[in-house]
Amino acid sequence: MGTEMVNAAEIFERTSGGNAIGLHTITRETLATSSADLRRRAAGLGFDATAGSLLPITTAQGELTEYYVGAFTPEADPFALGAIASRLPAGDYVFKTALPEPHLVALGWALELYRYDPLRKIERRKVQLVLPPKIDHAALLEQVQATFAVRDMINAPANLFGPAELEAAARKLAKTHGALFKVISGPKLAKEFPLIQVVGAASPRQPRLLDFTWGNAKHPKVTLVGKGVCFDTGGLDIKPSSGMLIMKKDMGGAANVLGLAQLIMAAKLPLHLRVLIPAVENSISGAAFRPGDVFKTRKGLTVEIGNTDAEGRLVLCEALAYADEEKPDLLIDMATLTGAARVALGPDLPPFYSDDDQFAQRLAHHASMQNDPLWRLPLWRPYNAMIETPMADLNNAGQGGFAGSITAALFLRHFVERAKCYVHFDIFGWTPTPKPGRPKGGEAQAMRALFAAIAERYSK
């Protein structure tokens, strides 16, 4: 891509901060009992210490020396205080007051400064934060860099980031960490993973399965599967134009899986990691698959096509069946799979599905601790009736229009039998309205919570 991307390493300053501009949080109550000089300055600039408001303090010569920042309530987004970074002038800053969650404040600071603009020239303000004490700089920087990488991939226009470019990104990551990388495509793909070939057959950009492994084979096996649909027209069941506007994000599952793999490998967790990404474009041509077609999968199950716009589960089921053959200790898939999940929980709260209550509980705990929200939904087995069909073992689109995210999860569950623990994530991968630490555009979701849960599980 371009060269104007945000450099995560330049966001944090590791010095003592002796010359940095001080940041003091202050409440309305504290302001009311502060010095007469501070109250005079506040009144002159209309500062009343509302959450996130800024009061600059300058010398008689006009030199900026510090800011007072309206304190947030404990219920506020943990990124909110750090998000003031986008409103500050260039300079080095240091918090002079104690922070309730310093890691999340620093993370929010960095994530707020992200911008995707390699395709235009723009001047950047260098706004650096002196890290609060006792923060693991290396671990924080890895989180920021992984998040930026996920956002970059999702935000990239589809004409610049198709299956070949997704392959190149995965290959580069694998090479950086010494992972063994391979690609399956062409006749071998069509023979061994027929539905991946079927979904990608209408595009001139050839479908492929990306596969890399890292770590000691004697360690517990963790396999990550990510949906890599680099653009989704809906196929012959074509989406309306409004529904296609952000379909470059339909590879968000693959992007998040690569971000998670980056965190795992950088931390050198004692596990044997495998990453599988079916990389395709769901397009339209004479080679496109049709509603009513029936195909046999790698696992041997037959699938009737109820809707060509439910293509994500078709490519995922092949990769999941392949992963399941090795009986992994933990099998995770991430996918921008259903609009039904957005109707149920909105864009910011991805659902996840698992039969493993213990892992689900730990994942929910880490989601809260990492400010990486998730919500567990049930694998409600009676809804399997919605994906039954007299023509095949399964239909890829549930009947009746109800419980679309659950039926998609149940469809995928049919392809996992041997994994000791399986978790499915139906993410959105996109922030439609800017929020603290989350600019509009591509987003990493569930990645940090998953990393914390995996690190806890395998670092003992």
For 126-191, the DSSP string reads -EEEEPPTT--HHHHHHHHHHHHHHHHHHHS-TTTSSHHHHHHHHHHHHHHTT-EEEEEEHHHHHH
* Residues linked to residue 64 through DSSP beta bridges, in sequence order: 58
**pLDDT, tens digit, for every residue of 40-63?**
999 999 999 999 999 999 998 989
Indicate the average pLDDT of the chain. Answer: 95
Question: What pLDDT does residue 177 have?
Answer: 98
Do 427 and 336 form a contact (C-beta atoms < 8 A)?
A: yes
Least confident among 133-142, 348-357, 369-378, 386-395 = 133-142
Total Cβ atoms within 10 A of residue 381: 10
Domain boundaries, the chain: 8-135, 141-458
**pLDDT, tens digit, for every residue of 231-260?**
999 999 999 999 999 999 999 999 999 999
8-135 carries CATH number 3.40.220.10: yes
Of the candidate CATH numbers 3.40.630.10, 3.40.50.1370, 3.30.499.10, 2.40.128.20, the domain formed by 141-458 belongs to: 3.40.630.10
Report the half-sphere exposure of 401 (CA within 13 A, side-chain side). Answer: 1
Question: What pLDDT does residue 172 have?
Answer: 98
Do 211 and 183 form a contact (C-beta atoms < 8 A)?
A: yes
The two three-digit tokens of residue 262, written as one number = 């980056």
Stated pTM of the model? 0.96
Q: Is 452 left (phi over 0), alpha (psi -120 to 50) or beta?
A: alpha
Catalytic residues: 239, 313
Total Cβ atoms within 10 A of residue 224: 26
Do 225 and 207 form a contact (C-beta atoms < 8 A)?
A: no
Question: What pLDDT does residue 5 have?
Answer: 56
Report whether pLDDT(311) > 70: yes
